[in-house]
Amino acid sequence: MTVPASDTIPRQTALQRWLRIDQHAKPMVYARVYQTADVFNINYWLEIVFSAGIAALGLALNSPAVIIGAMLISPLMGPIMATGLALAAGDLYLAVKAIANLVASIALAIGLSAFIVWLLPFHSVTAEVLSRINPDLLDLGVALFSGLAGSVAVCRAGADGAVTTLPGVAIAVALMPPLCVMGYGLGSGLNTRIMGGAGLLFLTNLVAIVSSAFMVFLLVGMNSPDVRAEMELARKGEPFAETLLQGPLARVLSKGGRLHWRILMLVVLLAAIAVPLRTALKQVAGEAVARGAVQDVVKGLLPPGALVSQQIEVERDSVAVRLIATRSVPDARLKEAEEEIERRCGRKAEMSVASVASQSELAQLMQKLALPLPSPPKSVAATLPDMQQELIARITPVLNSVWPPEAPIQGFDVALSASGIALNVRYESTQTLGKIPLDMITRDLQGKLGVPNLSLTAKRVAAPRRVSRNANRIR
């Protein structure tokens, strides 16, 4: 007796009704997820190459927009969802295909990004690279929620959905950038810190999404006998599938790969990843507390507007604070500030303050330097050496800046008289400077030195000669 098709479909649970899961579309969803694990899909590998190349260049350019573009192209969500479905349904053949696809995709993405980075003429670590080498429990939470959202979207897609077209989930979980950061560390000289941090972030995303997908696919009944029967019928005739399902590995997994063992495996993986992530989260929280304590202490240490810059370095057991301010701080107050920081964050504190001139003080100083030379004092004989050094120091750079470089100066004399200042310059040149160039030089000197009654004479010498220390003198 033939059982009607409607009787072979299990009853819909409350969760399935709440999520609006179409019972008749389950085989179609299963087939779509199954197709994403195909190792011989050329379009899939082209998307991997394109997304890895874009992500690697985006990391080098420190461009978030370019990296987001790589996330949208990346098809890695497909085989990861297939792995979760295979674990939920106990489908050995799908699990082998999905895991093989994932391993090859990871190797290709890391290798290609490492090659691109190796070709670049610079290997500086950008902010986008640094942001992906310190994962914590918050990243695990993001990956879990992203996996749940993606799995529900896949189950509700039916015949009108596409498994790999999940833009929001792809951006939230960021699967390709961590792989390319690993390649960045490999291509820039085997930087183990970058590779290890990015590898932990990708592993966190991978295990979290697989676990979320496993839970959703299990709860919506994707492991029902009718769905499995249709899938086994659809891939009937594939030599590798029949060999694998009838081989010794299938017999071993039929006993050791039961549902409770698969659940235990995912729980152990999540717990193993959560240990280093929890340590990283505690470190981040401690750094935030330390920085907050420093900010509060600095506000009470210096008046508003006195702080020029600050540098805070938070280590595991210490906090170093270096301040630049327009006000000096007594040693006693610095000691009190260090004790307050140690009390609030539990780390040894070391604080230093370097005082500099304020903006108004600098403006006053520049204004004084710009004033013209004071008039000669009545007692010229008593201040003549000081005046000589001051005049020569002021005239020399101005004269060098306006004098033509093709006629190098060999020396000059300064003569003071009641009518003003007279300069007599000796220069080396094949031709004598004419009246017009000398008049232009004279006007430039008068304007830059602020001496309108300055006069200039010049004498050409045939060859260079050694200039003594007293070559520039005042008569």
Q: How confident is the model over 380-416, as pLDDT tens digits?
A: 444 555 666 677 777 888 888 888 877 788 887 777 6
pLDDT of residue 244: 60
Whole-number Å distance between alpha carbons of 349 and 344: 10
> What does the pLDDT look like over 340-370, one tens digit per residue?
888 888 888 888 888 765 556 556 555 655 5
19: tokens are: 């999520």
The answer for residues whose C-beta is within 8 angstroms of residue 403's C-beta and 6 or more apart is 409, 425, 427, 441
If we measure between CA atoms, which residue out of 197, 60, 53 comes closest to residue 124?
Answer: 60
Report if pTM > 0.75: no
If we measure between CA atoms, which residue out of 355, 345, 361, 347 comes closest to residue 301?
Answer: 355
pLDDT-derived band of residue 462, with 50, 70 and 90 as boundaries? low
Report the share of the chain in percent with pLDDT over 90: 19
Mean pLDDT of 179-201: 92
**Domain ranges, ordered by start, for the chain:** 5-257, 284-355, 391-474
> What does the pLDDT look like over 141-166, one tens digit per residue?
988 998 888 888 888 764 344 444 45
More confident residue, 472 or 303: 303
Task: Lowest mean pLDDT of 24-28, 180-184, 294-298, name the range.
Answer: 24-28
Q: How far is CA 69 from CA 37, 160, 468, in A?
A: 23, 24, 69
Question: What class, spelled out in words, does domain 391-474 have in CATH?
Answer: alpha beta
pLDDT of 9 higher than 70: no
pLDDT of 243 higher than 80: no
CATH ID of 284-355, from 3.40.630.30, 3.40.50.720, 3.40.50.1820, 3.30.300.20: 3.30.300.20
The answer for residues whose C-beta is within 8 angstroms of residue 171's C-beta and 6 or more apart is 68, 71, 72
More confident residue, 459 or 16: 459
Q: What is the mean pLDDT of the chain?
A: 78
The phi and psi torsions of 53 (rounded to 5 degrees) equal: -65, -45
The phi and psi torsions of 213 (rounded to 5 degrees) equal: -65, -40
Contact 429, 395 (CB under 8 A): no
pLDDT of residue 474: 43
Q: Which amino acid does the sequence have at 439?
A: D
Within 13 A of 108's CA, how many CA atoms are on the CB side?
A: 19
233: tokens are: 């019928």
Whole-number Å distance between alpha carbons of 23 and 425: 101
Q: Where are the alpha helices (DSSP H) in 163-238?
A: 167-173, 176-187, 192-219, 225-234
Contact 172, 146 (CB under 8 A): yes
| 142-161 as b/e: b if 16+ CB within 10 A | bbbebbbbbbbbbbbbbeeb
The residues that bridge with 269 in the sheet, in sequence order, are none
pLDDT of residue 89: 85
125: tokens are: 């670590």
More confident residue, 470 or 278: 278
Contact 320, 353 (CB under 8 A): no
pLDDT of residue 463: 55
> What does the pLDDT look like over 283-338, one tens digit per residue?
888 888 888 888 888 888 888 777 878 888 888 788 888 888 877 888 888 888 88
Whole-number Å distance between alpha carbons of 413 and 470: 10
pLDDT-derived band of residue 418, with 50, 70 and 90 as boundaries? low
- What contacts 24+ positions apart, CB below 8 Å, involve 244-247? 244/92, 244/93, 244/96, 245/92, 245/93
268: tokens are: 């152990």
In degrees, rounded to 5, the angle at the alpha carbon of residue 122 between the alpha carbons of residues 117 and 128 is 65
Q: Would you put residue 10 in left (φ > 0), alpha (ψ -120 to 50) or beta? A: beta
pLDDT of residue 166: 57
Q: Which amino acid does the sequence have at 4?
A: P
pLDDT of 275 higher than 70: yes
Q: Do domains 284-355 and 391-474 have the same CATH topology?
A: yes
Contact 373, 387 (CB under 8 A): no
Whole-number Å distance between alpha carbons of 379 and 242: 114
Q: Which amino acid does the sequence have at 144?
A: L
